Copies of this chain bind each other. A is one copy, B any other.
């Protein structure tokens, strides 16, 4: 008697939900339409673009939606519109604290505007980066590339598909946000020169790093201005470990002050130099870049050229959101200011002996 063989009792079509759906699968606009006594298309309008529906109907629908605990299905919404309210952020290295603030800045801005942030990393590899970017392109409305390692052309190709904003690099035709190194660097070099240093080494970052090139240019220019010699040293990788490894070359260079591509290198370099018995800054001054978390934990605390990383992340997100909404913005570069943060790792050279 129970379980009569009505057509309704037929096995449901549709995909089998693996996870227990607790009996009730989630409500759709059809359920709301039924409850509110209107057409599903009206529900869609009321829910997706308020104002196109009479106040009375709007209320009816909203009440029904609340009652049924309705949530849009983002996939169903994305399919016809192509919009996902999601954007991607690809960073060169998730383990590098430089990016933490960028991530946070972007995440905060995204969430505030009801966007979801999807994160991936390139592990400093142009190939991995492009793969990640391609994969993300399918699911996001736009992309932020922090310190990308790809070719300009690859970045422009991505930007042709969907809005792209670049951080820490300038790419012709693609909007970007870059710290303007000049102010910070000239402050740093001037401070070094004032402390009697006449030969400065710059430890470079990855060869593909646009920012590393800019910093080296800035150092050269500032040194020329201050009549200080500048030599360039290469690092194997832009990490604490890379900093340790470059210590040899630094000593061999004869420089009495060194600026490094980033703080990680500076910290590693300082550790290695100190382990070899050198006193910082009495025997050598060290200046990093970025002012990452932990830069002031060292002994002595690290002097560094601060980049406003969190600001970069949130400005990039804001730019992207702008591109997404009031389209047609001209691609442009936003510059954010850098500044010298003078701490204990740089100072006057003490006469030997």
Q: Which of A41-49, A99-107, A334-342 contacts B (4 or more CB under 8 A)?
A: A99-107
Least CB distance from A312 to B in Å reads 15
Within 8 Å by CB of A117, from B21, B111, B120, B294, lies B120
A134 to chain B: which residues have CB within 8 Å? 71
Q: Are A104 and B95 in contact (CB under 8 A)?
A: yes
Q: Which of A156-164, A172-180, A192-200, A246-254 contacts B (4 or more CB under 8 A)?
A: A156-164
Where the two chains meet, the residues of A that have a C-beta atom closer than 8 Å to any C-beta of B are 14-15, 17-22, 71-76, 78-82, 84, 86, 94-95, 97, 100-101, 103-104, 107, 111, 116-121, 132, 134-136, 138-139, 160-163, 267, 293-294, 297-299, 327
Q: Are B81 and A94 in contact (CB under 8 A)?
A: no
Within 8 Å by CB of A22, from B14, B135, B160, lies B160
**Stoichiometry, copies per complex:** 2
Q: Are B100 and A97 in contact (CB under 8 A)?
A: yes
Please report the C-alpha to C-alpha distance between residue A343 and residue B135 in the assembled complex, in whole angstroms: 43
Q: A100-B100, A163-B19 are in contact. Are A84 and B75 (CB under 8 A)?
A: yes
A22 to chain B: which residues have CB within 8 Å? 160-161
A73 to chain B: which residues have CB within 8 Å? 79, 138
Closest to A111 in B: B120
A17 to chain B: which residues have CB within 8 Å? 82
A117 to chain B: which residues have CB within 8 Å? 118-120
A100 to chain B: which residues have CB within 8 Å? 94-95, 97, 100
Q: Are A293 and B160 in contact (CB under 8 A)?
A: no
A267 to chain B: which residues have CB within 8 Å? 297
A162 to chain B: which residues have CB within 8 Å? 19
10 contacts between A and B (CB under 8 A): A15-B82, A22-B160, A75-B84, A75-B139, A86-B118, A94-B100, A97-B294, A116-B118, A117-B119, A298-B299
Within 8 Å by CB of A294, from B76, B107, B163, B297, lies B297
Within 8 Å by CB of A116, from B101, B135, B299, lies B135
A163 to chain B: which residues have CB within 8 Å? 19
A116 to chain B: which residues have CB within 8 Å? 118, 120, 135-136, 139
Please report the C-alpha to C-alpha distance between residue A17 and residue B95 in the assembled complex, in whole angstroms: 37
6 tightest CB-CB pairs across the interface, nearest first?
A294-B294, A299-B299, A297-B297, A75-B78, A94-B104, A75-B75
**Residue among A18, A80, A298 facing the most chain B CB atoms (10 A cut-off):** A18
**Residue among A118, A139, A299 facing the most chain B CB atoms (10 A cut-off):** A139
Q: Are A139 and B80 in contact (CB under 8 A)?
A: no
Within 8 Å by CB of A74, from B20, B97, B138, lies B138
Least CB distance from A307 to B in Å reads 16
Closest to A298 in B: B297
Q: Are A119 and B104 in contact (CB under 8 A)?
A: no
Please report the C-alpha to C-alpha distance between residue A97 and residue B95 in the assembled complex, in whole angstroms: 10
Closest to A161 in B: B19
